[in-house]
């Protein structure tokens, strides 16, 4: 499995821990590479472009609250970025909304919670049906 991942400075430590923990995943890390201050839209754009222009189907984005980086990601058509702060939200984000980008709020969850959220998100299937119709409506905006 290949996943593109990016974060700003506030998400850097969590991003590094995720890459280390999930060794079986081939990570395409678009940065940042330190805790030096950076602007999150740059990394949201890189992750989204990887999903839209390569064979990579999933991405993870991380910033302090998760709000700004998810707003930036959702500017891209066919990107469904979901800010998830627990496993239940992650499950619904995939099953009902086909989230192809998981957004994590580094300042509000522990590393262990992030790991659990990622596992749930990765192994939940999209239900389709009426949920597919809703995505088609979004894509017409």
DSSP string, 41-86: HHHHHHHHHHHHHSS--EEEEEESSSHHHHHHHTTSTT--EEE-SS
- Average the pLDDT over 56-84 and give the result: 98
92 contacts 120 by C-beta, under 8 angstroms: no
Report the SS3 class of residue 88: helix
Instruction: Give the pLDDT confidence of 32-44 residue by residue, as tens digits.
Output: 999 999 999 999 9
At 141, is the pLDDT very low, low, confident or very high (cuts 50, 70, 90)? Answer: confident
Cα(6)–Cα(29) distance, rounded to whole angstroms?
Answer: 6
Q: Is the pLDDT of residue 119 over 90?
A: yes
How are beta strands 2-7 and 81-83 bridged, if at all? unpaired
| Residue numbers of the domain that contains 69 | 2-139
Residue (of 127, 101, 110) closest to 49 by Cα position: 101
Q: C-alpha angle with apex 2: 50 to 66, nearest 5 degrees? A: 60
User: Six-digit token pair at 26?
Assistant: 């081939």
Q: Indicate the number of domains in the chain.
A: 1
pLDDT value at residue 13: 98
* More confident site: 68 or 141: 68
Distance of CA 91 to the CA centre of its chain: 13
Answering whether pTM is above 0.95, one says yes
Residue 27 burial class via C-beta count within 10 angstroms: exposed 0-12, middle 13-18, buried 19 and up: middle
> What CATH number did the domain enclosing 23 receive?
3.40.1400.10
pLDDT value at residue 28: 98
């Amino acid at each position: 499995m290949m996943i593109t991942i990016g974060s700003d400075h506030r998400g850097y430590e969590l991003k590094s821990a995720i890459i280390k923990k999930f060794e079986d995943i081939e990570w395409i890390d678009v940065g940042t590479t330190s805790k030096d201050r950076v602007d999150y839209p740059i990394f949201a754009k890189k992750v989204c472009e990887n999903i839209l222009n390569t064979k990579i189907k999933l991405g993870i984005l991380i910033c302090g609250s998760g709000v700004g980086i998810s707003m930036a990601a959702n500017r891209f058509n066919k990107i469904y970025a979901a800010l998830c702060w627990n496993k239940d939200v992650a499950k619904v984000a995939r099953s009902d909304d086909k989230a192809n980008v998981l957004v994590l709020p580094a300042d509000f969850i522990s590393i262990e919670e992030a790991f659990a959220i990622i596992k749930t998100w990765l192994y939940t299937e999209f239900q389709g049906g009426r949920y597919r119709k809703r995505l088609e409506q979004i894509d017409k905006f």
